[in-house]
Structure 1
């Protein structure tokens, strides 16, 4: 078995969750001994596992079909998580939905990160079989490291006993960036750091203004940072606050859980079945609720859920994900064998 992992615009999307999903797929396939290639010109593969939906992605699917290859589409994107992102995203989201349905329907199988996103796709009227498989997490990468934590503190000049709240995400309204800044205004003694970057020309003016100037002094937007500093931030911070309104999974949440960080999220449907309020995280719906939880968690007024959160991350380790992907690959190729046998039988 050989798989072609295709990812259009890899450099552009490398800073997003989808970009990290590709890295996880490579690791996962290596863990279970599945050969893969990233060479788009390769033709000796068995399955095209495609992650993106640009023009070249559309061409890759058509090319694979002409070569008689099986196609698995990794449905990271939905109309719902496209909205409230880029300039004009709400206006064109219905067209994006039609385009996604058209592309996804060409596949022999779909993979999507959560049961929630699976339900959305089935609600679109897509009849292709769909498997819900987490994007996974590299547990070893996010093990606590005093060296990494020190690099984080030095980089941001974090003073002793200074309370720090972090978030990681693109500069999108749907990510909850407006609420993040509003909560920071309520806690001027805490430092709020939003990691991530999106080209300013692509986002609405209101969000550009917030990032550039309209935020209190205790809020930092350092941009996209990778490696030891961000990994140190995940474990050294006092709270990971992710007020996103819509996700298909949220790789950054898995990263925080794997770091044994305390997690506070918005109570939205995507977490149903794997995150549980007051068990492995805390959930809020309004800024008033978030305000209460931030104070209560930072000041240790309520029990933390760090260990239970880490247990969730362990269930989504890259090793486990590799076996789940392998199962879908074998199912698709097994279907191909059955279909060929049926065709020969009909010919005879």
Structure 2
């Protein structure tokens, strides 16, 4: 009788445990509802990384005081106890403290800090104690602090040196350092910072910000603007933006064309700008639209014919990039990183040269063919700043420092 055959069940190796998503911790001293470029960039970085499948945590200041943790837009936001910042009308500052317990609870693969102030330095210190690699992005310039700290002009050079030394001491602890533009990286070198700095654009959402073919009257109506040639500024209405230059240029522009100037944003210079506009006889042609929610910003750009950026402390200027993506010609101060954004799509002028500023804006507002050509060039330049490209590069950096 034949010996029965026994079926042998092969021993399958256990399936490998699925790799968990990359876990990124972002630290920042400014985050929405704060309204500024660094806050917007950090929010877009966090939500963009989450949409790409990363586990993202953000440590920032509480917007109303108490400590709390929420899941917002796919991001775990840990808000630390905060107090009003006495030198700023709307921002708050985190109460200093150690972040070791929070760092241990999150167990990030990498820390990406957006600054070197209270939250940033506490997060870097906790990461270093735990052996977590650190990526640091600089958005800081001393000029952005002088007006709020009420530093007299005669002391600003000395105060700037002290501020840069403090920055260098903290950022020297990072494994990889980035800043939005090559010119911004050169600024750090000029200030004596010895580490290599990589330029990675803040990036913009090119799908949301794009040229509109409809007549501009529809967009102007949304913001209660008259249907006339419009120069737009978007950003904080603060001292280093030098917005009085746009107001003082307007009478010269009105000699040639029936124009108006629209400001989007809030800040402590609004009262002075309103007073200046009335004093020089253009009060009825300067409109302050206040805070415009991010979801309505594409329509704000669609209402304009040209974008003016007279600031002298821009490390990139997200607002200018969004204007360019929307197909607007740009007239910007020849200062800091703004020349990086003007190449065949508009004009640069020397800060303080109001006559040149007015001349450039007038030529754009009065020449439709020129306006169309410059607008197309703006869009082409903006295409090189796709935020998905920036997000992909940051993910590569995270993996490099983690290895």
TM score, norm. by length of structure 2: 0.73
Q: CA deviation at 1:177?
A: 0.8
**Does residue 323 in structure 1 map to residue 399 in structure 2?**
no
Q: How far, CA to CA, are the matches of 2:212 and 2:341 in structure 1?
A: 26
Q: CA deviation at 1:214?
A: 2.6
Q: How far, CA to CA, are the matches of 1:326 and 1:208 in structure 2?
A: 40
Matched residue, 1:191: 260
Q: CA deviation at 1:234?
A: 0.6
* Greater RCO structure (CA 8 Å; 6+ sep): 1
* Residues 36-66 of structure 1, C-alpha deviations (whole Å, 9 max, x = no match): 2225534310111111333232211111111
Is this contact kept in 1: 2:110–2:133, CA < 8 A? yes
Aligned pairs (5 A) from 1:189-228: 189-198=258-267, 200=268, 207=269, 209-215=271-277, 216-217=282-283, 218-228=285-295
Structure 1 residue runs of 5 or longer lacking an equivalent are 201-206, 335-348
Structure 2 residue runs of 5 or longer lacking an equivalent are 1-21, 59-76, 79-101
Q: CA deviation at 1:24?
A: 2.4
Q: How many residues align?
A: 323
Aligned pairs (5 A) from 1:333-344: 333-334=402-403
Q: CA 1:31 to 1:122, structure 2 compared with 1: closer, same or farther past 3 Å?
A: farther
Q: CA deviation at 1:144?
A: 4.2
**Does residue 49 in structure 1 map to residue 112 in structure 2?**
yes
Q: CA 1:6 to 1:148, structure 2 compared with 1: closer, same or farther past 3 Å?
A: farther
Matched residue, 1:346: none
**Does residue 96 in structure 1 map to residue 196 in structure 2?**
no
Q: CA deviation at 1:261?
A: 1.2
Matched residue, 2:234: 168
Q: CA deviation at 1:17?
A: 0.6
For 1:96, what is the secondary structure of its paired residue?
Answer: helix
Q: How far, CA to CA, are the matches of 1:261 and 1:76 in structure 2?
A: 25
Q: CA 1:159 to 1:272, structure 2 compared with 1: closer, same or farther past 3 Å?
A: closer
Residue 7 of structure 1: which of 10, 15, 28 is its match?
A: 28
* Residues 238-263 of structure 1, C-alpha deviations (whole Å, 9 max, x = no match): 11111112210000111001111121
Matched residue, 2:40: 20
TM score, norm. by length of structure 1: 0.83
Q: How far, CA to CA, are the matches of 2:329 and 2:148 in structure 1?
A: 27
Larger helix proportion of the pair: 1
* Residues 147-206 of structure 1, C-alpha deviations (whole Å, 9 max, x = no match): 99666422443334x1111101212232121201111233343110111112x3xxxxxx
Is this contact kept in 2: 1:31–1:322, CA < 8 A? no
Residue 58 of structure 1: which of 101, 113, 121 is its match?
A: 121
Q: CA deviation at 1:295?
A: 1.2
**Does residue 282 in structure 1 map to residue 347 in structure 2?**
yes
For 2:385, what is the secondary structure of its paired residue?
Answer: coil
Is this contact kept in 2: 1:151–1:232, CA < 8 A? no
Residue 317 of structure 2: which of 243, 250, 273 is its match?
A: 250
Is this contact kept in 1: 2:264–2:290, CA < 8 A? yes
Is this contact kept in 2: 1:108–1:128, CA < 8 A? no
